[in-house]
Amino acid sequence: MRAYERLMKYVKVCTQSSPDTGATPSTPGQWDLARLLVEELKELGLENPSVDGHCIVTAWLSASPGCEAAPALGLLAHMDTAPAFSGRDVRPMVHENYDGGDIALPREGRVIRAADFPFLTGLKGKTLLTADGSTLLGADDKAGVAEIMTLCERLQAENLPHGRLCVAFTPDEEIGEGPDHFDVAAFGAKYAYTVDGGAAGSIEYENFNAASAVVDITGVSVHPGSAKDVMENALLMAQELNALLPSEAVPARTEGYQGFFHLDRLEGTAAACRMEYIIRDHDEGEFTVKKALLQRAAAQVQAAHPAAKVAVTVKDSYYNMKEKLADCMHLVENAMRAAELAGITPTVEPIRGGTDGARLSYMGLPCPNLGTGGYNFHGPQELACVEDMDAVVDMLTHLVRLYSK
């Protein structure tokens, strides 16, 4: 079975995670996909396919004869889809022989415009998968799941040499909780890769340092007719605070290694409101500066409104995996070689985000990230390329063989 065929099956299972439930996994649909994958892994003949009490799927493929001394290699992908856009009732669509132009989706008048996404010109003539416009597709990261499963099938069907392969599929990556209960020692891999990136051939070993920040503002609420010199409007105070942050340091105005403040949610009333930020920077020093800047902005607003209350809670989420991969650059070098052997041009670039691999690297499992052949994640313009997914499976096959020697 080709990887895209598996993807089309997996996306029909709703696994959209949620930051609000407090459960593990955060949504029940992730159990449904986990159980489906366990059954498929059994059919493929892997060792001890199982899902644990935290909805982490694991299985192992024994080394082929003569490769027993090779280092155990891990491959991971996540089962959940982003909470930012609906992942329920996904209807995958196949667009054969893509002409390089706009892609009209049948639901809600949405169009994937070539002018907005220049990479589309490079996909001309290929077969693309999208949803129907009412949901995201779920290639992030069910494409990675499908590619790892297809690799496991190929290695055995074609009797290809490989060392011990450790496979895991995690829940709740999109809300930063994927590795919370991951047992690195029991997993048994010496090195690993997450298959959770974009274009085929992309190799990522640098990611943002990341923190979340919550600002709770309690104003002074009185009748507006008698508010002079008394009312403290929490919503206006929120605007003051945000205006104290650098206006250019936002996602829409940054790229590459540039960090940002992202106001992800603002809700409340004049009486009280909450602001939720994510703070990102590749540089550890600049990351620290950004966190301190938010604290200073809050203190400045508090000083200007002494009758109100401004409370800030900042929590680090993950750190730049580059610090943990400095002594394991063979992971990047072998990934580049594997891409070339698969006929893909490798690209090494920083992640403007994070993966389970970032946290796993700090947990003792060096783990860069590889592309899946998916694009435009987290929204209705998401798509995947069939031929690029095939190429990723080829790349993984060569990568496993490189580590079998």
Instruction: Per residue of the chain (405 residues), give pLDDT as tens.
Output: 999 999 999 999 999 999 999 999 999 999 999 999 999 999 999 999 999 999 999 999 999 999 999 999 999 999 999 998 999 999 999 999 999 999 999 999 999 999 999 999 999 999 999 999 999 999 999 999 999 999 999 999 999 999 999 999 999 999 989 999 999 999 999 999 999 999 999 999 999 999 999 999 999 999 999 999 999 999 999 999 999 999 999 999 999 999 999 999 999 999 999 999 999 999 999 999 999 999 999 999 999 999 999 999 999 999 999 999 999 999 999 999 999 999 999 999 999 988 899 999 999 999 999 999 999 999 999 999 999 999 999 999 999 999 998
**What are the domain boundaries of the chain?**
3-207+320-403, 209-318
209-318, CATH topology level: Alpha-Beta Plaits (3.30.70)
pLDDT at residue 405, rounded to an integer = 85
Indicate if 204 belongs to the active site.
no
- Catalytic-role residue among 140, 173, 177, 281: 173
CA distances from 296 to 216, 249, 333 (A): 15, 16, 43
- Interaxial angle between packed helices 330-341 and 386-403, expressed in degrees from 0 to 180 and rounded to the nearest 10: 130
Residues β-bridged to residue 313 = 214
Indicate if 102 belongs to the active site.
no
The span from the CA of 12 to the CA of 141, in Å, is: 13
pLDDT at residue 277, rounded to an integer = 97
Show the beta-strand stretches assigned E in 131-271. Answer: 165-170, 191-197, 202-204, 209-218, 260-268
CA distances from 390 to 146, 154, 339 (A): 10, 12, 12
Please state which CATH class domain 3-207+320-403 belongs to. Answer: alpha beta
**CB contact at 8 A, 107 and 133:** yes
- Catalytic-role residue among 80, 153, 206, 394: 80
- pTM over 0.85, yes/no: yes
Peptide bond into 28 cis (omega under 30): no
